[in-house]
Amino acid sequence: MRPHPKAHLPLAVATLLTAVVALTGCASNDDPVSPTPNPTTRTYRMGFSGFPPRNDFAQAIAAIQMWTPRADGAIFAITPPWDSLLAGVPADSLVMRDQKPLADYYRALGLPIVVTLDATDGLNRTAEAPALVNAGRSLTEPAIQQLYRAYAVAVDTLLRPAHLATAMETNLIRIAASPTLYAAVVAAANGAAQDVRAHDAGVRLSVSVQVETAWNRLGAGPGTPVYGSVAQDVADFPFAQEFGLSAYPFLGGFEQPEDVPLDYYKRVRDEVGRPVLLVEGGWTSASVSGPGITVTSDEAKQARWWRRQIALADHAGLSGLYPLNFTDLDLASFPPQPPGSILPLFARIGLVDPDLNAKPSLAVWDSAFARIR
């Protein structure tokens, strides 16, 4: 579930942003291990994506300028621009236009880059990317998988990320989508990793898993969490040197942030036996509802989640903390969503509102960021 490219960056903002950037040069709550009181260090880099709150150039720039001083990393969450790829536009031309200027800006600030590539529909893990569906094409086609692989190589070559995930939320896709689509994701992700590795020996390759799914929490009500497994993901993506985590506990039946087990991330890390980093996630700061779910929350509860989130990150020894959205989303400025869209569930997970006014959660972030890494 990914609120960032689930609603794509409007082209007007993307174009203007490009121009300006170019000019600017299993335990539960009684886990016997407790977080270290007032830690002075952290194991993880911290950062956000450049996704803006609305289709407004000035605010897109202002948001980036607001979060980059409180970050030591940056993330791009990218769905391939299938319409352009299918029209024959070279992958490198698209990456040069859409992401490279911003990546160059991040690099000039000394921010290492994480990139996650999404092979399916981030708002509906049962389905393929909408642009592929609209074109009557499918990731199950070898030719489409080859386009995906070529795009991954272009992203790696031009953006030079330190970390690259070639598929997202693979465990959720496996249980939600058809076996045929999941098999296509496995083939495309492994092929992309193989092609990237042939050009780049240094980038750390991964896929991401959905933590609520790993804990059997999606669709669950209140109750004691019971960890499942991500062993199939480890087997299906043997190239992964690390695993990304997607975590939205407010959608997993957790009513209070403190109900989330202290080892929520650590259980995944222990099972995969390699580093893990959060590549998307959050907790809504307002009461929201979507298909089959209603969540009651406010800004104080979101701040409590961020305190819990930092404790979970410390306990797991995460290597990265990249929740994606720095700002809330002004949904009125987005294209109309189809009936049943879950995008409203993610509209209030930012640490500032659409006008860049800070919420209490921002102070929690800043306190963690101030620690020595």
pLDDT band at 131; cut points 50, 70, 90: very high
Give the pLDDT band of residue 341 (cuts 50, 70, 90).
confident
Average pLDDT, integer, range 185-199: 98
Of the listed ranges 79-83, 223-227, 228-232, the least confidently predicted one is 223-227
pLDDT confidence bin for 5, thresholds 50/70/90: very low
Tell me, what's the pLDDT at 30? Answer: 38
- Residue 10 pLDDT > 90: no
pLDDT at 7: 40
In this predicted structure, the answer to whether residue 108 has a pLDDT above a threshold of 50 is: yes
Q: Computed over its alpha carbons, how large is the radius of gyration of the chain?
A: 19
pLDDT at 2: 56
User: For the chain, what are the domain ranges?
Assistant: 41-369
Mean pLDDT, residues 269-284: 98
Q: What is the pLDDT of residue 36?
A: 57
Those residues whose C-beta lies under 8 Å from the C-beta of residue 370, and which sit 6 or more positions away, are none
Banded model confidence at residue 26, pLDDT cuts 50, 70, 90: very low
Q: Which residues pair with 220 in a beta bridge?
A: none
For residues 338-363, give the mean pLDDT: 94
* Confidence label for 8 from pLDDT (cuts 50, 70 and 90): very low
Average pLDDT rounded to a whole number, residues 84-89: 98
pLDDT in tens, 41-82: 999 999 999 999 998 889 999 999 999 999 999 999 999 999
- pLDDT given for residue 331 in this prediction: 92
The mean pLDDT of 162-175, rounded to a whole number, is: 98
Percent of the chain with pLDDT over 70: 90
pLDDT digits (tens, 9 = 90+) for 194-205: 999 999 999 999
Task: Kindly report each contact of residues 343-347 with a partner whose C-beta sits within 8 Å and lies 24 or more positions away, as own/partner.
Answer: 343/3, 343/6, 343/7, 343/123, 344/288, 344/289, 344/290, 345/251, 345/284, 345/288, 345/289, 345/290, 345/293, 345/295, 346/1, 346/3, 346/6, 346/248, 346/282, 346/284, 347/3, 347/284, 347/288
Mean pLDDT, rounded, of the chain: 91
Tell me what pLDDT residue 223 has.
77
pLDDT band at residue 335 using 50, 70 and 90 as cut-offs: confident
Q: In the predicted model, is pLDDT for residue 367 greater than 50?
A: yes
Whether the predicted pLDDT of 29 surpasses 60: no
- For residue 25, is pLDDT > 80? no
pLDDT reported for residue 35: 54
CA atoms within 13 A on the CB side of 35: 23
Residue with tokens 């650590």: 266
* Structure-model confidence comparison of residues 273 and 15, the more confident one: 273
- Cα 138 from Cα 144, distance rounded (Å): 7
Average pLDDT over residues 262-271: 98
- Topology of domain 41-369 in CATH is TIM Barrel (3.20.20)
Q: Between the CA atoms of 241, 245, 246 and 252, what dihedral angle is there, to the nearest 10 degrees? A: 140
**pLDDT score of 336:** 83
